[in-house]
Amino acid sequence: MHIPSSRQFRVVVGACVLALLTGCSLVGGSDGGSHDDVEPVASAGATAPGAPRAPGPQAAPTGSGAPTGGTAGTVTIAFGGDVHFTGRTVSRLGEGADTLGPIGKALEQADIAMVNFESAITERGAAEAKTYTFRAPKSALDDLKATGVDVVSMANNHAVDFGQAGLTDSLAAADNGALPVVGFGKNAEAAYRPWTTEVNGVRVAVVAASQVNDLTSQRYAAGATKPGIATALTSARLVKAVRDAKAEADVVVVYMHWGIEGDKCPSATQKDVATDLAEAGATAVVGTHAHVMQGAGMLGDTYVGYGFGNFLWYGTSPYPNSNDTGVTTLTVTGGKVVKEAFAPALIDSRGVPVPQKAAEAKRITDRRASLRPCTGLTAAPK
């Protein structure tokens, strides 16, 4: 669904900036496993896999907005995974409403739809010293908008693959492109600032951050006066952003880039951070990076989808079942997730996620359900 710009508003996060810059504390460690990673940093205080700590009470609103929760109406939010316009998916540029093929209907039917845009938005610049680098023209945002996407995350390990020139172009696209961009900005305040909108009387805030410990997060983490991505390596900035957003919004969504590539189960670090964000008031915590689907379910009142997998994908992957994908749609009423729906899809030879039916749909759906036990989550309402 395309939300009229007149209904969009920004949550102002102006207070305590200095304190945030000088008083950071540990949210969680970082996960390695990226094909561009440097040596990973060990997580601090991580729980054992399969044993996430129970979230404590969610933070009460602290801002000037009206009290949240309990009075909100209903909103549907759809998610897809990693999107590229590179390699075989370059041919999707200029396809408009057909960019994602029929699976786009699952995005269009939701009130809000979101994917991870895993590329720099530029046509110039020198590639970073990485094994894989990705970029796409600004028009890619127009194509995603035409196919039903409303907001994208650029808090990932490929947002700054083409140096300062690419960073400059990506910032310009984020500021005046066809779609709102979260998790990326001209400084930390902008990178952690939520995109906000109101649908059916429900105020929704979306924030994003990357926990992948690689060259991007080390060289291009947004700072007080430095452009780049929002990170969640060693800082409580993301938790503070969620708390601030919750003070103004009925629904808070966090889109993470996290986990270990190829792992079907979330890491202990992912579980720790999901718990921290749930305690901060997140309605849903979702993410990508593993290039395979990871399990989903409920952590107390918070929906957690650890990994959506690939979506519009540039090439083949060495990981088993990496072509299994789909669109996850959450129905949120009164500020709580009351329903999860999953539309299974399979990435074809063009890199396009194609909706599945009958036996193949059942296989993907059943396999997705089989991934939940190692998450420690309870089943989401259907």
Closest CA to 261 of 219, 211, 300, 201: 211
Range of the domain at 221: 23-47+68-375
Q: pLDDT category, 374, cuts 50, 70, 90?
A: very high
17 within domain boundaries: no
167 within domain boundaries: yes
Q: pLDDT category, 157, cuts 50, 70, 90?
A: very high
Could you count the other beta carbons within 10 Å of the beta carbon of residue 7? 10
CA atoms within 13 A on the CB side of 88: 12
Domains identified in the chain, total number: 1
Q: Does residue 270 register a pLDDT over 60?
A: yes
14 within domain boundaries: no
pLDDT tens-digit map of 53-100: 556 554 433 232 333 343 469 999 999 999 999 999 999 999 999 999
Res 171: pLDDT: 98
Cβ atoms of 266 and 59 within 8 Å: the answer is no
120 within domain boundaries: yes
Res 22: pLDDT: 39
Q: pLDDT category, 317, cuts 50, 70, 90?
A: confident
Distance between CA 283 and CA 244 in Å, rounded?
Answer: 13
pLDDT tens-digit map of 10-24: 333 343 333 333 343
Res 30: pLDDT: 62
Res 39: pLDDT: 29
Pairing of strands 8-10, 195-199: antiparallel
Distance between CA 223 and CA 364 in Å, rounded?
Answer: 41
pLDDT tens-digit map of 328-339: 999 999 999 999
In our burial notation (b when 16+ CB lie closer than 10 A, e otherwise), range 85-117 reads: bbebbeebeeeeeebbbebbebbbebbbbbbbb
Q: Does residue 38 register a pLDDT over 90?
A: no
pLDDT tens-digit map of 229-252: 999 997 699 999 999 999 999 999
pTM over 0.75: yes
Task: Determine whether 22 is exposed, middle or buried from the number of CB atoms within 10 Å of its CB (0-12, 13-18, 19+).
Answer: exposed
Res 199: pLDDT: 97
Amino acid residing at 110 = A
CATH number of domain containing 208:
3.60.21.10
Res 69: pLDDT: 40
pLDDT (average), residues 276-294:
98
Res 55: pLDDT: 61
Q: Does residue 267 register a pLDDT over 50?
A: yes
382 within domain boundaries: no
Res 6: pLDDT: 35
